[in-house]
Amino acid sequence: MKLAKRVERVSPSLTLAITAKAKKLRSEGVDIVSFAAGEPDFDTPSHIKGAAMAAIKEGFTKYTPASGMLELKEAVSKKLECENGLVYPPPSISISCGAKHSLYNIFQAICQEGDEVIIPSPYWLSYPEMVKLAGATPVFVQAHEENGFRVNIDDLKKALTKNTKALILNSPSNPTGSIYGDGDLKEIADLAVSKGIAVVSDEIYEKIIYDGQKHTSIASLGNKIKDISIVVNGVSKSYSMTGWRIGYIAAPSDVIVAINKIQSHSTSNPASISQKAALEAITGDQTSVKDMVKEFSIRRDLITGGLSKIKGFKVFKPQGAFYVFCNITGTKIDSLTLTNRLLDEASVAVIPGRPFGSDSHIRLSFANSSSEIKKGLDRIGKWVKEKL
Ligand X SMILES: Cc1ncc(COP(=O)(O)O)c(C=O)c1O
Q: Which stretch binds ligand X (CB under 6 A): 58-66, 97-105, 113-121, 286-294?
A: 97-105
Pick 242 or 329: Cβ nearer ligand X: 242
Q: Other CB atoms closer than 10 Å to residue 17's CB: what's the count?
A: 14
Minimum distance between the CB of residue 275 and ligand X, rounded to whole angstroms? 14
Question: Omega of the bond prior to 91 within 30 degrees of 0, cis?
Answer: no
48 forms part of the interface with ligand X (CB under 6 A): no
In the sheet with 351-352, reading across from the earlier edge strand, the strands are: 314-315, 323-327, 361-365, 351-352
Pick 100 or 361: Cβ nearer ligand X: 100
94 forms part of the interface with ligand X (CB under 6 A): no
Pick 299 or 379: Cβ nearer ligand X: 299
Minimum distance between the CB of residue 59 and ligand X, rounded to whole angstroms? 27
DSSP symbols for 341-379: HHHHHH-EE-EESGGGT-TTEEEEE--S-HHHHHHHHHH
How far is the C-alpha of 216 from the C-alpha of 76, rounded, in Å? Answer: 17
Minimum distance between the CB of residue 311 and ligand X, rounded to whole angstroms? 30
Q: Which of 36, 99, 185, 193 binds ligand X (CB under 6 A)?
A: 99
From residue 273, alpha-carbon distances to 52, 66, 105, 204 in Å are 5, 14, 22, 21
Q: Which stretch binds ligand X (CB under 6 A): 42-50, 62-70, 234-242, 277-285?
A: 234-242
Q: Would you say 347 and 338 are in contact if contact means Cβ atoms under 8 Å apart? A: no
131 forms part of the interface with ligand X (CB under 6 A): no
Question: In a 10 Å sphere around its CB, with 0-12 CB exposed, 13-18 middle and 19+ buried, how is residue 374 labelled?
Answer: middle
Pick 313 or 322: Cβ nearer ligand X: 322
128 forms part of the interface with ligand X (CB under 6 A): no
Pick 235 or 310: Cβ nearer ligand X: 235
Q: Which residue is nearest to ligand X (CB)?
A: 98
Binding to ligand X (CB under 6 A) within 156-175 occurs at 170, 174
Minimum distance between the CB of residue 231 and ligand X, rounded to whole angstroms? 12
Q: Would you say 29 and 57 are in contact if contact means Cβ atoms under 8 Å apart? A: no
End-to-end CA distance of the chain: 46
Pick 99 or 193: Cβ nearer ligand X: 99
Q: Which of 45, 68, 98, 357 binds ligand X (CB under 6 A)?
A: 98
Binding to ligand X (CB under 6 A) within 245-274 occurs at 247
124 forms part of the interface with ligand X (CB under 6 A): yes
From residue 64, alpha-carbon distances to 72, 78, 274 in Å are 11, 20, 11
105 forms part of the interface with ligand X (CB under 6 A): no
Question: Omega of the bond prior to 65 within 30 degrees of 0, cis?
Answer: no
Minimum distance between the CB of residue 31 and ligand X, rounded to whole angstroms? 26
How far is the C-alpha of 99 from the C-alpha of 270, rounded, in Å? Answer: 12
Q: Annotate 60-89 with b (16+ C-beta within 10 A) or e (fewer).
A: beeebebbbbeebbebbbebbeeebebebe
Q: Which stretch binds ligand X (CB under 6 A): 59-67, 98-106, 147-155, 184-192?
A: 98-106
How far is the C-alpha of 92 from the C-alpha of 77, rounded, in Å? Answer: 9
Q: Would you say 238 and 208 are in contact if contact means Cβ atoms under 8 Å apart? A: yes
Q: Which stretch binds ligand X (CB under 6 A): 95-103, 114-122, 253-261, 287-295?
A: 95-103
Residue count, binding to ligand X (CB under 6 A): 13
Q: Which of 13, 137, 142, 242 binds ligand X (CB under 6 A)?
A: 242
Which residues bind to ligand X, rule: CB under 6 A?
A: 38, 98-100, 124, 170, 174, 202, 204, 234, 236, 242, 247
